[in-house]
């Protein structure tokens, strides 16, 4: 879609939410919202390279939930789940996020999809219950996983533009 790779930006001020931004060129908010909320698409991009999503369930409604499981290259499985708190498709979504290995560290994520000239600016505010949980999330590879996932999303967008969205 573009010759230069957009870069994920992570801002982590102390005692504030983590703010993650990335621009997607030639992708409207409606398409990105669909990629974010449709299991068939989520399986193709969500998570770091080398990880397979073995399960993905989405009940997209306020009060509904989602759950997915990643399998790492060494065969370990990692589950994630959450509840949808607000949905304003295709511009905004608020949901909880729980990594099932540390269920006490629930995060509230606010996703906004802002249409810009030639694309969409994706911004996520991740609010943690404690500074310790926030720092653990940052240290646990969150930035790498999100960056690689967004690169995979970019590749999916390119396949969809060519008419090969499930390739």
Q: Are 111 and 130 in contact (CB under 8 A)?
A: no
Angle among Cα 96, 52, 20 to the nearest 5 degrees reads: 40
Q: What is the pLDDT of residue 2?
A: 39
Asked if pLDDT for residue 5 goes beyond 60, the answer is no
| pLDDT band per the 50, 70, 90 thresholds, residue 14 | confident
For residues 106-121, give the mean pLDDT: 95
For residues 12-29, give the mean pLDDT: 92
Distance in angstroms (rounded) separating the CA atoms of residues 96 and 114: 21
Q: Which strand ranges, in their side-by-side order, compose the sheet holding 18-25?
A: 9-11, 18-25, 119-128, 107-116, 92-99, 77-88, 65-71, 52-58
- 127 versus 117: the higher-pLDDT residue is 127
For residues 105-120, give the mean pLDDT: 95
Residues in the chain, total: 167
Mean pLDDT (the chain) is: 93
pLDDT digits (tens, 9 = 90+) for 39-98: 999 999 999 999 999 999 999 999 999 999 999 999 999 999 999 999 999 999 999 999
For residues 118-138, give the mean pLDDT: 93
Q: What is the pLDDT of residue 166?
A: 62
| pLDDT band per the 50, 70, 90 thresholds, residue 3 | very low
Q: What is the pLDDT of residue 108?
A: 98
Give me the domains of the chain, ranges plus CATH numbers.
11-161 (3.30.530.20)
Asked if pLDDT for residue 1 goes beyond 70, the answer is no
Percent of the chain having pLDDT more than 70? 95
Distance in angstroms (rounded) separating the CA atoms of residues 15 and 113: 24
């Amino acid at each position: 879609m573009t010759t230069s790779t957009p870069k994920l930006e992570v801002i982590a001020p102390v005692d504030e939410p983590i703010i993650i931004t990335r621009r997607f060129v030639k992708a409207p908010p409606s398409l990105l919202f669909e990629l974010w909320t449709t299991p068939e698409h989520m399986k193709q991009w969500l998570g770091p390279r080398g990880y397979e999503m073995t399960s993905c369930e989405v009940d997209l409604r306020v009060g509904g939930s989602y759950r997915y499981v990643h399998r790492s290259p060494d065969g370990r499985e990692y589950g994630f789940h959450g509840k949808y708190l607000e949905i304003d498709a295709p511009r905004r979504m608020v949901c909880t996020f729980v990594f099932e290995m540390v269920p006490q560290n629930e995060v509230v994520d606010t996703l906004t999809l802002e249409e810009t000239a030639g694309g969409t600016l994706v911004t996520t505010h991740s609010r943690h219950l404690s500074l310790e949980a926030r720092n653990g999330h940052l240290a646990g590879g969150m930035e790498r996983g999100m960056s690689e996932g967004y690169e995979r999303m970019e590749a999916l967008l390119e396949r969809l533009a060519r008419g090969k969205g499930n390739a």
